[in-house]
């Protein structure tokens, strides 16, 4: 009977892809990985760095085991670990993703010195006064006047937007992009809702809310979308 292979190595134009079986023991996996990498590299030109992507399927590994695998691979002279991909996430990661996908609805006025934060989208029914701050991991929708600070996409989401019935912010932030001066935010004098987003030049632009239909066509969560 042919012995089951726990490690499969595939060469691509980007480098190597290592598929690690998710049913064998972790120790057996490490042992076979070490042997096969050593044998494979005997035929490789060690003058050039080789990118390695590791696929571990439905196996959960701890952060310590992840670093152990990286160290084992990096020991093979010219191998560089590009990524370790798993189909499994921890309960903490799942809860974080769920929180970021949710919408928090609040009805109140955010006064000077107050900070309102959420991991997902924020729907605020009320004003943000000067000195007040709202922060969200996703989008910010304000059914009222924004005169304070609004920071959307605070975890790095550059597709996040800020919308308000009246846009008069002291500062707008989306991801790590900032409108530092109120003068740099050109808002209209009419009463239409406006939105702020990051354009292709990584500048925060304020436009009519209707612009989001074309700019963010997948922005449908408030309508029950996904």
CA 31 – CA 200 distance, rounded (Å): 48
> How large is the angle between the packed helices 26-41 and 63-74, nearest 10 degrees?
20
Torsion sign across C-alpha atoms 165, 171, 173, 178:
positive
How far apart (Å, rounded) are the C-alpha atoms in residues 16 and 9?
7
Specify the 3-state DSSP secondary structure of 96.
helix
pTM for this prediction: 0.57
Q: What domains does the chain contain, in order, with CATH numbers?
A: 7-85 (3.30.750), 94-223 (2.160.20.70)
pLDDT tens digit sequence for 92-107:
777 777 766 788 999 9
pLDDT digits (tens, 9 = 90+) for 162-193: 999 999 999 999 999 998 644 445 554 555 78
Evaluate if residue 156 carries a pLDDT over 50. Answer: yes
CB-based contacts of 11, cutoff 8 Å, min separation 6: 17
Select, from the ranges 36-45, 93-102, 143-152, 203-212, the one with the highest average predicted confidence (pLDDT). Answer: 143-152
């Amino acid at each position: 009977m042919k012995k089951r292979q726990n490690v499969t190595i595939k060469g691509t134009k980007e480098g190597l892809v290592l598929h690690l079986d998710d049913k064998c023991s972790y120790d057996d996996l490490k042992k076979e990985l070490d042997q096969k990498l050593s044998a494979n590299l005997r035929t490789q030109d060690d003058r050039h760095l080789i990118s390695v992507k590791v696929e571990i399927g439905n196996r959960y590994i701890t952060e310590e085991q992840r670093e152990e695998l990286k160290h084992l691979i990096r020991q093979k002279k010219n191998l560089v670990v590009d990524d370790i991909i798993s189909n499994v996430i921890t309960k903490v990661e799942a809860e974080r993703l769920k929180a970021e996908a949710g919408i928090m609805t609040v009805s109140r006025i955010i006064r000077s010195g107050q900070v309102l934060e959420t991991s997902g989208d924020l729907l605020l029914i009320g004003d943000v006064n000067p000195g007040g701050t709202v922060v969200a991991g996703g989008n910010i929708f304000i059914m009222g006047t924004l005169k304070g600070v609004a920071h959307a996409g605070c975890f790095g989401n550059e597709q996040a937007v800020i919308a308000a019935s009246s846009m008069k912010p002291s500062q707008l932030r989306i991801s790590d992009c900032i409108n530092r001066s109120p003068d740099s935010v050109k808002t209209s004098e009419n009463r239409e809702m406006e939105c702020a987003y990051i354009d292709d030049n990584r500048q925060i632009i304020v436009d009519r809310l209707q612009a989001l239909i074309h700019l963010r066509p997948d922005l449908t969560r408030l309508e029950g979308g996904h």
